[in-house]
């Protein structure tokens, strides 16, 4: 008889929250870089600018919204992906084929992106607020206050502004993270050189983070611009055309800080997830 542990449906959300607490300053700097109309600062310069103008704690502006987003977006996508994967794994003789992991990841990520759009919108606004003049700042107290004020002042539709971009990005990043992590881990373990340990989790999640960064960066730029807009874009295509005027590389603006943020976030998420699974997961004896 062998024993293994599988995740509980909410472990993905908890693991993502833990990772978000560590990588939030990088996410904030990425949003600032993406919302520049012209490239004036790089990553280090933007970090210095934020700290110099608003203090070190400004690097954690919007943390409550980021955690709210993880408990809606990430919890949903992980719950769908891992629940269905484990159910299919219990009926099959071997692991799921990669194409099925991709399809399942895309569905889970799309659904999670839709569910998490309101929190994502507030997250972007809270992170970018300090760049605005005092009269233009929204000054949300926390995530719940932001959600309530958007609902009251701008309506339900505004809460889902950029939902198509957020859902599409969610699909791509989930394929890059979850499907690629599972496949990379399967291949690493298949070599027989490494066991199911922390080093394997690190290598697999590092590969997954790189895949996710490359896949989702263009949509991430569009999503951020749409969510931070004050009505200057009539829709996704308008935003796409406006961004395209800045050249093809505009869709990869902030790629390095996005990778510097997303790769560690991916690594930490899966390390936390594997530890939660190891110590608190559901025991299955076969």
| pLDDT, tens only, 60-77 | 887 888 899 999 999 999
The crossing angle, in degrees rounded to 10, of helices 198-228 and 11-34 is 50
Cβ-based neighbours of 57, under 8 Å, separated by 6 or more: none
Cα end-to-end span (Å), the chain: 6
* Higher per-residue pLDDT: 248 or 84: 84
Q: Closest Cα partner for 109 from 139, 74, 135?
A: 74
CA distance 229 to 99: 36
Query: Which pTM does this prediction carry?
Result: 0.82
| Residue 236: band (very low, low, confident or very high) from pLDDT cuts 50, 70, 90 | confident
Maximal CA-CA distance, the chain = 67
Range of weakest confidence among 2-16, 98-112, 125-139: 125-139
Tokens (6 digits) for 252: 């990869």
**Can you give the pLDDT at residue 95?**
80
**Can you give the pLDDT at residue 90?**
63
* CATH numbers and ranges of domains, the chain: 3-281 (1.50.40.10)
The alpha carbon of residue 76 and the mean position of all alpha carbons in its chain are separated, in whole angstroms, by 12
Paired with 3 in beta bridges are: 285
DSSP class of residue 285 equals: E
Give residue-wise pLDDT tens across range 36-51. Answer: 666 567 778 888 888 8
For residue 84, pLDDT beyond 70? yes
Give residue-wise pLDDT tens across range 158-191. Answer: 899 878 878 988 999 999 999 999 999 999 999 8
**Can you give the pLDDT at residue 231?**
72
The tokens 């569009």 sit on which residue? 222
Across the chain, what does the average pLDDT equal? 86
The tokens 């790089």 sit on which residue? 42
Residue 50 exposure: Cα atoms within 13 Å on the Cβ side: 26
Paired with 282 in beta bridges are: 6
**Can you give the pLDDT at residue 234?**
76
């Amino acid at each position: 008889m062998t024993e293994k542990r599988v995740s509980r449906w909410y472990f993905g959300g908890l693991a993502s929250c833990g990772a978000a607490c560590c990588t939030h300053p990088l996410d904030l700097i990425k949003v600032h870089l993406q919302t520049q109309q012209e490239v004036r600062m790089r990553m280090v310069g933007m970090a210095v600018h934020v700290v110099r103008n608003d203090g070190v704690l400004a690097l954690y502006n919007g943390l409550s919204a980021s955690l709210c987003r993880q408990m809606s977006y990430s919890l949903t996508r992980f719950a769908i992906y891992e629940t269905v994967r484990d159910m299919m794994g219990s009926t099959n003789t071997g692991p799921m084929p990669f194409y099925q992991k991709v399809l399942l990841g895309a569905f889970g990520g799309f659904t999670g992106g839709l569910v998490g759009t309101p929190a994502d919108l507030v997250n972007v606004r809270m992170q970018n607020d300090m760049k605005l003049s005092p009269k233009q700042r929204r000054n949300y107290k926390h995530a719940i206050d932001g959600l309530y004020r958007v609902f009251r002042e701008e309506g339900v539709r505004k809460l889902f502004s950029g939902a198509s971009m957020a859902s599409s990005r969610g699909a791509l990043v989930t394929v890059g993270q979850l499907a690629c992590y599972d496949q990379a881990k399967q291949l690493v373990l298949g070599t027989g050189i490494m066991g199911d340990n922390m080093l394997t989790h690190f290598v697999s999640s590092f590969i997954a983070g790189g895949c996710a960064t490359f896949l989702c960066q263009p949509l991430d730029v569009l999503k951020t611009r749409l969510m931070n807009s004050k009505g200057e874009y009539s829709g996704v295509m308008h935003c796409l055309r406006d961004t395209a005027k800045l050249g093809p590389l505009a869709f990869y603006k902030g790629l390095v800080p996005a990778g510097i943020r997303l790769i560690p976030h991916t690594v930490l998420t899966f390390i936390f997830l594997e530890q939660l699974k190891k110590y608190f997961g559901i025991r299955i004896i076969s």
